[in-house]
Structure 1
Amino acid sequence: MNYLITGATGDLGFKTLTYLQNKVESMHLFALARSEKKAAQLKENGINVRLGDYGDLKTLKQAFKGIDTLFFVSGNSDNRQAEHQNVIDAAKTAGVSRIVYTSIANLDQSNSLLAPDHRYTEKAIKDSGITHTFLRNNWYLENEAAVLDAALKNKKLTTTAPNGKVAWALKREYAEAAANALLDATLPEIVELSGKPKSYLDLVDALNHNSSAKITIKYGNDQDFIDSLTSNGLPNEVAQFFLAIQKDIENNELNFHSDQFEKLLGHPLIPLSEAVTEIISF
Structure 2
Amino acid sequence: MTTIAVTGATGHLGRLVVDALIDRGVEPGSIVAAVRSPEKAAGLLARGVQVREADFDKPETLPAAFAGVDKLLLISTSDPGSRLAQHTAAIDAAKAAGVGFVAYTSILRAGTTPVLLAADHKATEELLAASGLRHSFLRNGWYVENYTSQIPTVKQTGGFIGSAGEGRIAAATRLDYAEAAAAVLLLENPRAVYELGGDQPFTMAELAAEVGKQLGTEIGYTDLPAEKLVEILAGAGVPEGFAAILADTDVHVRENGALDNPGTDLRDLIGRPTTSLADAVKQAR
Q: Is the 8 A contact 1:113 1:248 kept in 2?
A: no
| Structure 1 segment 1-150 matched on structure 2, within 5 A | 1-22=2-23, 23-77=25-79, 78-150=81-153
* Distance 1:27-1:205 versus aligned 2 partners, 3 A rule: same
Match of 1:181 in 2: 184
What TM-score do you get using the length of structure 1 for normalisation? 0.90
**CA distance in structure 2 between the aligned counterparts of 1:242 and 1:44, rounded to whole angstroms:** 38
Which range moved further: 62-71 or 238-247? 238-247
| Structure 1 segment 165-176 matched on structure 2, within 5 A | 165-176=168-179
Query: SS in structure 2 opposite 1:85?
Result: helix
Question: Given the alignment of the two structures, is residue 202 of structure 1 paired with residue 206 of structure 2, yes or no?
Answer: yes
Unaligned runs of 5+ in 1: none
Give the partner amino acid of 2:173.
L
Identical aligned residues as a percent = 32
Which range moved further: 84-93 or 238-247? 238-247
Query: SS in structure 1 opposite 2:76?
Result: coil
Query: SS in structure 2 opposite 1:192?
Result: strand
**CA distance in structure 1 between the aligned counterparts of 2:227 and 2:127, rounded to whole angstroms:** 38
Give the partner amino acid of 2:19.
T
Deviation at 1:235, TM superposition (A): 2.1
Query: SS in structure 1 opposite 2:183?
Result: helix
What's the Cα RMSD here?
2.1
Aligned length, in residue pairs:
278
**CA distance in structure 2 between the aligned counterparts of 1:227 and 1:128, rounded to whole angstroms:** 41
Q: Is the 8 A contact 1:161 1:247 kept in 2?
A: yes
Q: Is the 8 A contact 2:176 2:266 kept in 1?
A: no
Query: SS in structure 1 opposite 2:92?
Result: helix
Deviation at 1:123, TM superposition (A): 1.1
Unaligned runs of 5+ in 2: none
Q: Is the 8 A contact 1:5 1:13 kept in 2?
A: yes
Question: Given the alignment of the two structures, is residue 245 of structure 1 paired with residue 246 of structure 2, yes or no?
Answer: no
Which range moved further: 50-59 or 3-12? 50-59
Q: Is the 8 A contact 1:150 1:229 kept in 2?
A: no
Give the partner amino acid of 2:45.
K
Deviation at 1:101, TM superposition (A): 0.7
* Distance 1:257-1:148 versus aligned 2 partners, 3 A rule: farther
**CA distance in structure 2 between the aligned counterparts of 1:85 and 1:227, rounded to whole angstroms:** 33
